[in-house]
């Protein structure tokens, strides 16, 4: 009979611990008192903070951080997000927002887009930046320009780009000094690097008008030669 008595005592002790533990967990000690939101953009940080105000007063133990992250990710400005519980009563949210890499222009609209050409806001939401304008007409042309832009790895070359646009059956990269570079989606990263080096070499001898990169084994350059 001793063993059954011990088992009963242990069960009562366990039940008591669970009961009082549950009572302790459900006290105000574990209610969310503060939501900390970190990120570069003041506007995004304020918007997310306002959305998460409803979490205050809820029990931190029962909050599902995955659900909170998924909710925040619905905001197109958010690239990545991390939500952590800081016991006993704080929630910390770290935002990685999309950063403007190009302006996307369609008709009268000019929108912000990141490096993946993911549109996430209006041009008026950010201070003006010296970044290229992508002028597209449909999803097909936008995807083509995304392919072209992804192959331009040289930062100095990228900084020279004013606009990328569709021209008849081809695409054009317009530099800030109005040099026109004719290209297509099959042009490789290596070819863009070669074009940049060739451009830097030729422009010292005379103004470059245009460069055509569509040919496999050559680059056609139009330029004005000037005698020293």
pLDDT the model gives residue 137: 85
Q: Provide φ and ψ at 165, rounded to 5°.
A: -145, 165
* Strand 90-97 to 78-86 pairing: antiparallel
pLDDT the model gives residue 108: 86
Structure tokens at 139: 């999803």
Mean pLDDT by 10 residues, the chain (228 residues): 68 67 76 95 92 94 96 95 96 96 91 93 89 92 94 95 90 96 96 96 91 94 73
C-alpha pair distances (Å), 1 with each of 4, 5, 212 = 6, 6, 96
pLDDT the model gives residue 228: 53
pLDDT the model gives residue 126: 85
**Whether the predicted model's global pTM rises above the 0.75 cut:** yes
């Amino acid at each position: 009979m001793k063993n059954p008595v011990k088992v009963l005592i242990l069960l009562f002790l366990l039940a008591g611990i669970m009961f009082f533990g549950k009572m302790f967990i459900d006290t105000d000690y574990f209610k969310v008192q503060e939501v900390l939101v970190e990120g570069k953009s003041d506007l995004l940080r304020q918007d997310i903070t306002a959305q998460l105000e409803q979490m205050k007063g809820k029990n931190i133990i029962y909050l599902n951080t995955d659900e909170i992250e998924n909710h925040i990710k619905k905001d197109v400005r958010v690239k990545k997000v991390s939500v952590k519980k800081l016991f006993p009563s704080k929630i910390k949210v770290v935002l990685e927002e999309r950063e403007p890499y190009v302006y996307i222009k369609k008709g009268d609209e000019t929108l912000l887009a990141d490096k993946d050409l993911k549109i996430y806001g209006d041009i008026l939401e950010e201070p003006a930046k010296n970044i290229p304008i992508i002028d597209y007409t449909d999803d097909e042309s936008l995807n083509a320009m995304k392919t072209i832009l992804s192959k331009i790895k040289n930062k100095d070359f990228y900084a020279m780009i004013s606009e990328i646009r569709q021209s008849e059956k081809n695409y054009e990269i317009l530099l800030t000094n109005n040099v026109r570079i004719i290209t297509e989606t099959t042009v490789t990263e290596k070819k863009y690097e070669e074009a940049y080096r060739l451009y830097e070499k030729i422009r010292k001898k005379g103004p470059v008008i245009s460069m055509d990169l569509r040919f496999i084994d050559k680059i056609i350059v139009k330029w004005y030669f000037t005698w020293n």
